Structure 1
């Protein structure tokens, strides 16, 4: 150690004073390696430091050294670190009110997680009551681990889930919080707090305290390695589909150790101390009795750890004490044992005194650990089903295209979809190869779904087919991997159906469908049914026609009038009606007319073609309405001398016509949801005005029967108008489309 000179404060600049010379001659040395005990029995002790309780029990001023850290961390719900900030300070304070301290050295250990570049930190001087702080930062080590599990389907005892079902009924949510002390010391003042959102409903039999919008668990002390589990059950309102904040969980603590694991190894400092050697000559000349004296001229307590005194000119010390462990009180002194030295001359000595102002060290930390808030998502979806037509003919094979749309209208991802679809009994068993499933414009592979066909319809109970029991389609999408149907996206399923021989007994058929879907494998399952199932009617319409031909003699020789008749007695109009006849080769047509019993004279185009027996004439009339009669009257003129019998022209050469005309467009129709039934308890009792002798209610005189009929007719018209109105809206995006349109211009779906 370098020599140290003690100088009185008021004469510090006087280098030639007698006191300064005496100090230089004795060469007092400051040494920081004084053995003291540890500050915390639970951390690894330092042999150079004492416990603060022991230091506090010694009267006098001390040199205070403190390591203080504050941790602020944000963790993921599984306890892993998202963000961590550890801010620390090395604080040195002179507790004396009148004396300075200088040459202060602080030795630290376990600083690997801090930004200290060296284990040694030095402060040149501290004035009375002065305090200085050296800031630093750290990262990595942890004192407390906080975890949280939220489960919206705890009854399954499987993997936790964070989804809820959109419902008017509150749903159960279980929250489990785990807290563990992972530090090397005990933690104090441990408190766990959790904010409770407005959508949460707490039970009445709770075992925690509630402070405003938070619940608090006051844990207190946690020993090393100790862990605790806190449980909370609540109900959550899911009246909307927006994401629901679950609340923030946080924990606070304090500890008598640093988060970074940094600690003091030794702390030393010097003040107004003075040492010398007293040499007293014995009665016998040449014999000296020598002892070392240390004087504490300050208000500090000074800890002595060793002293070495040598006679100048000799290598071996006359006094060498290495384990003094002596505290010199303020204004106190220490005298060593006397040593006998033989020297004819006055002896000269050098001495090295190892001492330090008694340090009072402490370490402390506080922390705030917060978990990233989790959001609860809400499951909801809209299910729709449509057939591309609403009517098919009886006993005529018909094909129908079925389309199912499933739109995610919630805030939760949908990963598993299970569909149960009714197929009425007029249809054959659907071919699985014809079923196509697509999402976001891309068709799913066969590995992503499974389809099963079961006998018998599974849902509909009222509008069922008498032809057959029907089938049920069970479609599971998301079998090999999560489906990943994001909010706002749509799943579309298409498949063809064929009705080979529908009977007219199928007046009205309904094809309902329902779906179960979830986000997590073991999470809550939402169920939705189609509000308006597609409806299908089998119409029994048959063609009924009457045709005829008659030839009449004309008013001139060789002239004849020919009448062709076509009467449409069918259930509907017929398109592309054409009447045909053959004029003998020796005759020519002079005039012709077409007349309808509904429209009167009608325009018709006439074409002539050569035939084997003459000229074939065709009258293209076009559409003929239901119960309409059309007659073609034309005149032919031939050679009066030629032999021609009227009976030879009686043969009818036919009429052709196209498809039956459907006055209403054959577009998709749906069965409207039935209004809620009236509660019979609250239904007012109807009291009749008059009863006849048989107990039958007589008609009131104020009721006009014509008005009743008018009302019923108006109601029927209203229903038809409502049906037409429904038919011009796209079933997917609800955009208006023209009657008979095959493609929605908004969403592009085939109608």
Structure 2
């Protein structure tokens, strides 16, 4: 027991002003008496100031999650603080019993001086198994019309349709390169506990690349922006209540660089609850109290004694009695046996209050003596609270994009004639994500035949020609009848269980295939609409999975990009004339062959053949010629070749002959041998 300085006034009690003993308050004027209904005991009450023993159990937890909400690290500890709030009274033999922590079940805290406290710190174990009372989830959506999920488009021909997001899949966030993207961040906060969660503070980082940032909450949240940090405060969240915070922002990727989705932190408090299973089972302590047994011999009955038990609370604390047992010296007879631990029998004494039992009578020639055992403790209050801090790491946005072009091997073909053309399509990957597969859709107009065999297609990369593996071809209708329009659909690298990527980062793919023109009409305008669909894996680790989800980006060939194909209606109109002139001598002749192109098209590779009687020899010619023996006797053959004559152009061939025999030869003889 402790000692303290007591004034003379404090030593006064009801039985006499100068009684020296355990300190009691002077309660003569303010004492009130009430009868204890079940036992007839008396409790005298006081209005003295009450101090208390307060026990505060507070837990602090910190969690770190990756962007998929997988727990990376967790740290938690708790503090149990026992505080003596009295300004003058000590407490002693203080003991606390704790369940569920990694400390001893019962701890002896010994003595507390006035206005002091003692702390018990414990670590929280098995944090992975704890249920987080606040469930947090961030959903990121790219609100771009050009990026479609596989489930939003028609099923690819010949490819099974999968649309399950795998549990172990790591979702991709894709931005279109060189275009404005609208991104929506939705942070969902839900109270999954039975307690009210208060002081919810959310901080979300927004990359400096974003602009036109807007934040909307479905509750009266306080939203503030500081730099690239968005701060959102929610006063409280009741059990089962959910709140959404929507953030929209625009971004225009101009470079292939790492743009982060933005980490976020959230802190909150839980009142009157701890997350761990730590529980304070009991606290007991003692302070200034007095208990005594009054024995008074009856006036008219010698050796008959009226006895009563008194318990007085002399401290600033509220006390409660647990049990009172009073027996004779031999412990064979119980005079008072009170169990005060049940709720109905509980006796609580405020500072200055006393408790008196009902009297019992004893016959004894001497002053009676008793054995007594008293159990009591100080009342206390328990406060609980939990402070939680959660940090969620961010992910990255990946840049996707592709460019493509188309070329036709011939820019002009003749009307109503067969021509074979070669389509060449080049697709370049301009993003930083590999293209998993490609679907080419092209309309082949009437008067043209589409290719029906996969072997007619060629795939080429910078490394060389590629094997025609994992390629599907569909022609609709399934024939090459030129009288009807056809749809060509070429599917590359999208078969089930195909793990390779089709077009890597910074790679290009060239696809070429033939198209045959069958009697094209120059009065028609022929177009070959082309659409390219590039498929990207929705989840980062899906390459080896049987079920695969895709993001799909489709681009159509614009009018500016379409190659021109001209069908020309051109017919050749060629006139070849021959004139014979006398030479310088009677035995010489000058022959002029005129080639005139009277059409609107260029005429090429014109061959002209003339015959020369064997009696003549060639003297000269203005163009290259060739003289050979004829199959017929008595003549030679002279041949000329004109490479090209442009529309409405005229070319002359002049050559000179001389009679070797000296005989006369008529003009008609020379004319009859001309072929042109």
TM-score by structure 1 length? 0.55
Q: Equivalent residues in 2 for 1:589-608 (5 A)?
A: 595-596=622-623
| 1:60 equivalenced with 2:47 (yes/no) | no
Corresponding residue for 2:194? 184
Residues 684-714 of structure 1 show CA distances to partners (whole Å, capped at 9, x for unaligned) of xxxxxxxxxxxxxxxxxxxxxxxxxxxxxxx
Is 1:303 aligned to 2:320, yes or no? Answer: yes
More strand by share: 2
Q: Which residue matches 1:388?
A: 409
2:278 alignment partner in structure 1? 262
- Partner SS for 1:260: coil
Post-superposition CA distance 1:444-476 (Å, at most 9, x none): 7356x76545999xxxxxxxxxx9775454668
C-alpha separation in 2, matches of 1:654 and 1:274: 151
Counterpart check, 1:356 vs 2:377: yes
Structure 1 residues 350 and 205: CA distance shift in structure 2, 3 A: closer
| Contact persistence 1:77–1:147 (CA under 8 A) | no
Ranges in structure 2 where 5+ consecutive residues have no aligned partner = 6-46, 153-164, 166-171, 539-548
The answer on 1:498 being equivalent to 2:513 is no
* C-alpha deviation, 1:400, in angstroms: 1.6
The answer to whether residue 561 in structure 2 is matched with residue 532 in structure 1 is yes
* Aligned ranges 1:25-424 → 2 under 5 Å: 59-73=49-63, 86-109=76-99, 111=100, 116=102, 118-128=104-114, 129-137=116-124, 139=127, 140-147=130-137, 178-189=188-199, 199-200=211-212, 208=220, 211-213=223-225, 218=234, 220=236, 222=238, 224=239, 226-228=240-242, 230=244, 237=250, 239-240=252-253, 252-271=268-287, 298-309=315-326, 314=331, 319-323=336-340, 325-330=346-351, 351-367=372-388, 381-407=402-428, 409=430, 421-424=442-445
| Residues 609 and 524 of structure 1: CA distance in aligned 2, closer, same or farther (over 3 Å) | closer
Aligned-partner Cα distance in 2 for 1:482–1:231: 39
Residues 645, 73 of structure 1: alpha-carbon distance in 2 compared, 3 angstrom cutoff:
same
Aligned to 1:445: 470
Q: Deviations over 1:528-563 (max 9, x none)?
A: 44341011234547595859899999999xx99998
Q: Residues of 1 paired with 2:244 and 2:117: CA distance?
A: 46
Query: Which residue does 1:707 correspond to in 2?
Result: none
Q: Within 2, Cα distance between the matches of 1:455 and 1:554?
A: 70
Q: CA deviation at 1:361?
A: 1.0
Measured in 1, the distance between the counterparts of 2:363 and 2:612 equals 169
Cα drift, residue 67 of structure 1:
1.5
Alpha-carbon distance change, 562 to 228 in structure 1, aligned in 2, over 3 angstroms: same
CA distance in 2, matches of 1:478, 1:220: 52
Provide the residue aligned with 1:513 in structure 2. Answer: 530
Deviations 1:475-504 (A, max 9, x none): 688987799888867676543201133456
Classify 1:616/1:495 alpha carbon distance in 2 versus 1 (closer, same or farther; 3 Å): same
Q: Name the CA distance, whole Å, in 1 between partners of 2:244 and 2:60.
A: 25
Distance (whole Å) between structure 2 residues aligned to residue 641 and residue 432 of structure 1: 70
Closer/same/farther in 2, CA of residues 207 and 381 from structure 1, 3 Å limit: farther
Aligned partner of 1:726 in structure 2 is none
**Against the structure 1 CA distance between its residues 61 and 208, is the aligned structure 2 distance closer, same or farther, given a 3 Å change threshold?**
closer
Cα distance between partner residues in 2 of 1:251 and 1:648: 116
- Kindly state the Cα deviation for residue 260 of structure 1 after the two structures are TM-superposed: 2.5
d(CA) in 1 for partners of 2:245, 2:315: 59
Q: State the secondary structure of the residue aligned to 2:622.
A: strand
Q: CA deviation at 1:399?
A: 1.6
Q: Is the 8 A contact 2:404 2:426 kept in 1?
A: yes
Deviations 1:603-623 (A, max 9, x none): x9x899999979999999896
CA separation in 2, counterparts of 1:77 and 1:219? Answer: 26
Cα distance change on mapping 1:146 and 1:205 into 2, 3 Å? closer
Kindly state the Cα deviation for residue 94 of structure 1 after the two structures are TM-superposed: 2.5
Question: How many angstroms does 1:134 deviate by?
Answer: 0.9
* Deviation string, structure 1 residues 406-460 (Cα, Å, up to 9, x no partner): 556568998897765343544224436467597986757356x76545999xxxx
2-structure distance, mates of 1:356, 1:64: 14
Pair 1:85–1:411, CA change in 2 (3 A): farther
SS at match of 1:180: strand
Structure 1 Cα separation of the partners of residues 596 and 304 of structure 2: 159
1:662-699 superposed Cα distances (whole Å, 9 cap, x missing partner): xxxxxxxxxxxxxxxxxxxxxxxxxxxxxxxxxxxxxx
1:431 aligns with 2:452: yes
| CA shift in 2, pair 1:360/1:426, >3 Å | same
**Runs of at least 5 residues in structure 1 that lack an aligned partner in the other structure:** 1-5, 11-56, 457-466, 597-601, 656-751
Q: What displacement does 1:322 show?
A: 2.5
Q: Give the secondary-structure state (helix, strand or coil) at the position aligned to 1:130.
A: strand
Any idea what the Cα deviations from partners look like across 1:273-319, whole Å, max 9, x if unmatched? 67677788999999887766656665443333123456666477665
Return 177-186 or 77-86, whichever deviates more: 77-86
How do 1:527-676 residues align onto structure 2 when only pairs under 5 Å count?
A: 528-530=556-558, 531-538=560-567, 540=570, 542=572, 572=602, 595-596=622-623, 629=652
- TM score, norm. by length of structure 2: 0.60
Cα distance in 1, alignment partners of residues 112 and 635 from structure 2:
134
Output the CA distance in 2 between the equivalents of 1:217 and 1:477.
50
Maintained 8 Å contact 2:424/2:513 = yes
Compared CA separation, residues 490 and 58, structure 1 to 2 (3 A): farther
User: Match of 1:212, SS?
Assistant: strand
Shift in Å, 1:567: 5.5
C-alpha distance in 2, partners of 1:60/1:486?
Answer: 78
Post-superposition shift, 1:143? Answer: 1.7
Q: Greater share of helix residues, 1 or 2?
A: 1
* Alpha-carbon separation, structure 2, partners of 1:210 and 1:117: 41
